[in-house]
A and B are shown apart, each in its own frame.
Chain A
Amino acid sequence: MTANPQIRIFLEAYRPLLELSRGTDSSSAVRAASSPHLNRLEAESIHIIREAVSEARNPVMLFSIGKDSCVMLHLARKAFHPSPPPFPLLHVDTRWKFQEMYQFRDLVARDSGMTLLVHVNPEAIAKDINPFDHGSALHTDITKTEGLKQALDHHRFDLVFGGARRDEEKSRAKERVFSFRTATHQWDPKRQRPELWNLYNTRTNPGESIRVFPLSNWTEFDIWHYIHQERIPVVPLYFAKPRPVVARADMIMLVDDERCRMLPGEDIEIRTVRFRSLGCYPLTGAIESGAKTIEDILVELANSRQSERQGRKIDTDGNSSMEKKKQEGYF
């Protein structure tokens, strides 16, 4: 595909500013009382994380900068306290994340004292793979799935933590907590290991690996409730504020950097929006919302009629697309 000459490139789009005070309501600075439901989820996740690390040769945690990653990292810090988590963080960078996400990523890595590994698929750089010219499916495949596989092979990680939850998508609901992958990173839904009690089979042969999902039993609401309870910092893009956007029929796109392209006749307007889920900015739709704090988000979620991933273009590339991506090695 070549760039459409009709498309106008907008150069001075958006200046990100990381304001981490956002979202925490100053009037409720006291730690909220913990709920029995969240306590149970927390203990279960810590058990999973400790079990995985104890039996892995070379573990790593995928850190994709979203709210789930932040909760997962927080749980890992709890699991090994007072030691720091004994593994590095890995960010598979598509080069098309929101600017605030990059700033936030580096801040979190610094604060955690953990090593942050960043991998970009060199092929994506060489061929300048991007969502505008190549579409969401190819872009995701090259920058995320292939990039992830390259990074795992390069570092020979045998166990990878991911923040996926079973409530996100139908094929995720069928995923094990410890998900076995072949030496070529494939997931075979028909050959999953039976998983009984909280007893996990961590055994692999050389080259094979296991993806571990400590947040399997959490819901989107649980994640926000826990972020509220634990005061976990998250990317400010989750909170509503006036932002420069282009409103299209299928999504509201944030004009995040100078690479952003608009179609003929489109204009940038300022709308008060936030994000429910974060990915590559041209593929992640904003929602119009007035939710400025975590409390607002919780209320909005409780009344929402839309699922979390409705703004994600990569989920709608075709029926069973997540399942197919997973079989190919996607998280």
Chain B
Amino acid sequence: MRQAKKAAPAICRAPTSTIASAGDLLALQAGQDTLRFITCGSVDDGKSTLIGRLLWESQQIFDDQLLALEADSKRHGTQGKDLDLALLIDGLAAEREQGITIDVAYRFFSSPKRRFIVADSPGHEQYTRNMITAASTADVAVILVDARLGILTQTQRHANLVSLMGISHAVLAINKMDLVSFDPDVFSAIRSDFDKLASRLQLEHTATIPISALRGDNILERSEHTAWYDGPTLMGYLETVAPSSSESERFVFPVQWVNRPHPDFRGLSGTVANGRVAQGDTVRITASGHTARVDKIVTYDGDRHAAGEAEAITLVLDRDVDASRGDIITAADAPLEVTDQFEATVIWMHEDPGLIGRNYELKLATQWATASITSIKHRVDVNTGAHESCRQLAMNDIALCNLALSRPVAFDSYRASRTMGGFILIDRYSRATVAAGLISHNLRRAQNVHRQSLTITRKDRERQNGHNGKVIWFTGLSGAGKSTLANALEQELHAQGKRTYILDGDNIRQGLNKDLGFTERDRVENIRRVAEVAKLMMDAGLIVMTAFISPFRAEREMACQLIGKDNFIEVYVGTTLEICEQRDTKGLYKKARAGLLPNMTGIGSPYEAPEQPDITIDTGTTPLPDAVRTLIERINDTP
């Protein structure tokens, strides 16, 4: 990050100007918009110095900070007796001690024309994830190269990442021109190399500027040393380049929060991701397929007729349709695709490896789901762009993967929408953000399946049945008594004239799920399908009992989410392993103890007991009729 050369005298010139009246000042502000950009380049290309220079020249460094900088420069500086501007940026103690940038820093400055937010990200390969983080919110990337060294591997990596993250404008700043005597041939040769790279990466390369960050050439003012250069200064470029706007024009509105101050007001609060909405527009709730008209667009500052991209609003619809956090609202005639399988570029950001089949939490806009990587197609060598085969993901790997989700989500491609096409993966235990993903496309054949709204609803069926549909989810070890309990309960409910059905583990695996084995991944899929079937049957108005070991908490949570908390009764059949093993109704424990069944729950594979089940029954201590009575009471208690 440091430049070893002596700082030029120019560094000591602090430009000053004076603003006399508030009127002038506010008039200046009224027209200002914001540009977000990142600086990237390899170690020692002078990124921190460049940002220090931009802050300095735009008078964002105050006298007391300057005093602190002088002290810091004496202690940690690399510029001899002169100020080391890079120390303004590297704010963490470890960074100053080691003289490197560890994490992204966000800095602010302004010119009379514009406000700037610059994300300074580290150049080392081990910090690729930080550069991706910084790039995710940027409109423009300033890629620095050292004029003496030209395009390096790191330059290629950064150009690759900039292209991947969909930054629309890349500007090449050829730094340290003072060290090559401002030679125009050096400049042209590097520019031509970069042009080839940019065209291979389909990167919109919009300018190449010869600069010296250390001496201030072509930063704010045109340099007297580059009479041969007729393009803009760096600041001139940043002041005039158009910030990127979304490619997608369709109205998309992820619901963040349901606003219910009193019974007469029900609003859906959120931020417009793409497009525009106006009063009177017909919109669609993606998950349910319901449509409604926009009655009001509410804000604190009064109702609005229309709202556009990035505006935070509250929609009031003309009908009371079912919509809550996680629903995505679109224009009725331009719905989003919905899928539970897609292809995406995954950027791994954690020390723990990314494994095929492991479950992660996925967040996409306001939607949460459980997701797993089903296959890794190839890893991208970020330095060359080459594809390599790969079986698991390590920190900073970028790979094209297929993902499967526990439930369908609304999405768009990342190219069309950063909001609807970008997602994060979170470890279920450490809760760390382990990866970021960019969706390329749906993997479902039926690309345009939209939920059909049926005329006969669940309510109608329930009215005819005389009771509500419900799912009673039995979980517990093999031999705990799940099927026995479910069977006894069904007899009692049947006698009461209720409409019921039992989904039993063994029966389902002989038909619907006979293609599945007992690996963690197959067990997840087994439960996903059972939950889906249970939900359909519940929709038909039935009381559904499921008897599956369902050993993992996350799967049961997924089933509960899919079916809905209000309809879902979790029954933990908490019979002890000793009793189950004594019973050994199917002879499975014997086989497992003999080492013939590697994934037997309770022996070779874990069972995660529910933390807060609705009902717990130990069939080792509770007689069957008592257990059935407890269950019946609970079912009759819930609406």
Contacts and interface: CB of A to CB of B under 8 A. Distances in A.
A219 interface: yes
B132 A298 contact: no
Interface residues of A, number: 67
A8 interface: no
12 contacts: A38-B29, A40-B33, A43-B310, A47-B312, A79-B312, A81-B299, A82-B267, A166-B108, A169-B91, A170-B105, A173-B89, A199-B363
A299 B21 contact: yes
Contacts of A30: none
A35 B33 CA distance: 8
Interface stretch (A14-22, A187-195, A235-243): A187-195
Nearest to A42: B312
Interface stretch (B207-215, B275-283, B417-425, B490-498): B417-425
Interface stretch (A50-58, A114-122, A135-143): A50-58
A182 B312 CA distance: 31
A307 B64 contact: yes
B25 A302 contact: yes
A197 B418 contact: yes
A299 B325 contact: no
Contact of B259 (A83, A190, A310): A83
Contact of B103 (A174, A198, A228): A174
A32 interface: yes
B426 interface: yes
B253 to A, nearest CB: 12
Contacts of B22: 295-296, 298-299
Contacts of A35: 29-32
B8 interface: no
Contacts of B93: 319-320, 323
The bracket for how many chain B residues form the interface is: 35 or more
Given A47-B271, A78-B300, A37 B33 contact: yes
Given A35-B30, A174-B105, A310-B64, A43 B311 contact: yes
B63 A306 contact: yes
A3 interface: no
A203 B71 CA distance: 41
B117 interface: yes
Contact of B19 (A173, A198, A303): A303
B226 interface: no
Contact of B105 (A173, A302, A304): A173
B121 to A, nearest CB: 11
A279 to B, nearest CB: 16
A171 B92 contact: yes
A53 B32 contact: no
A95 B419 CA distance: 45
Contacts of A77: 300
A6 interface: no
Q: Which of A40, A47, A197 lies at the interface centre, i.e. has the most chain B CB atoms within 10 A of its CB?
A: A197
B361 interface: yes
B405 interface: no
B579 to A, nearest CB: 31
Interface in B447-497: none
Interface of A: 32-33, 35-40, 42-44, 46-47, 50-51, 53-54, 77-84, 166-167, 169-174, 189-190, 192-199, 201, 203-205, 208, 216-217, 219, 225, 228, 295-296, 298-299, 302-307, 310, 319-320, 323
A53 to B, nearest CB: 7
Contacts of B91: 169-174, 323
Contact of A217 (B105, B117, B259, B366): B117
Nearest to B272: A43
A194 B363 CA distance: 14
Interface in B479-537: none
Interface in B405-462: 418-419, 422-424, 426, 431-433, 436
Contacts of A307: 62, 64-65
B265 interface: yes
B386 interface: no
Interface of B: 18-22, 25-26, 29-34, 62-65, 71-72, 88-94, 96, 102-108, 115, 117, 129-130, 132-133, 136-137, 256-257, 259-261, 265, 267, 269-271, 298-301, 310-312, 314, 325, 349, 361, 363-366, 418-419, 422-424, 426, 431-433, 436
Contact of B298 (A42, A50, A81, A306): A81
Contacts of B271: 43, 46-47, 50, 198
Contacts of A43: 271, 310-312
B426 A201 contact: yes
B270 A50 contact: yes
B33 A195 contact: no
A189 B363 CA distance: 24
A306 B267 CA distance: 45
Contacts of A50: 256-257, 269-271, 312
Contacts of A299: 19-22, 25
Given A77-B300, A323-B91, A189 B26 contact: no
B102 A190 contact: yes
Contacts of A199: 363-365, 422-424
Contacts of B62: 304-307, 310
A80 B361 CA distance: 27
Nearest to B29: A35
A189 B92 CA distance: 8
Contacts of B418: 197
B325 A54 contact: yes
A212 to B, nearest CB: 14
A196 B269 contact: no
B261 A83 contact: yes
Nearest to A33: B30
Q: Which of B88, B93, B117 lies at the interface centre, i.e. has the most chain A CB atoms within 10 A of its CB?
A: B93
A174 B92 contact: yes
A205 B32 CA distance: 42
B388 to A, nearest CB: 23
A307 B66 CA distance: 10
A194 B433 contact: yes
A190 B102 CA distance: 8
A80 B65 contact: no
Contacts of A37: 29, 32-34, 115
Nearest to A296: B22
Contacts of A167: 107-108
Nearest to B307: A43
B65 A225 contact: no
Contact of A194 (B20, B29, B133): B133
Contacts of B312: 42-43, 46-47, 50, 78-79
Contacts of B29: 35, 37-38, 225
A39 B311 CA distance: 8
A42 B301 CA distance: 12
Given A80-B259, A166-B106, A194-B133, 13 more contacts: A36-B31, A40-B33, A51-B256, A51-B366, A171-B92, A189-B92, A199-B363, A199-B422, A298-B22, A304-B62, A307-B62, A307-B64, A320-B96
A115 to B, nearest CB: 17
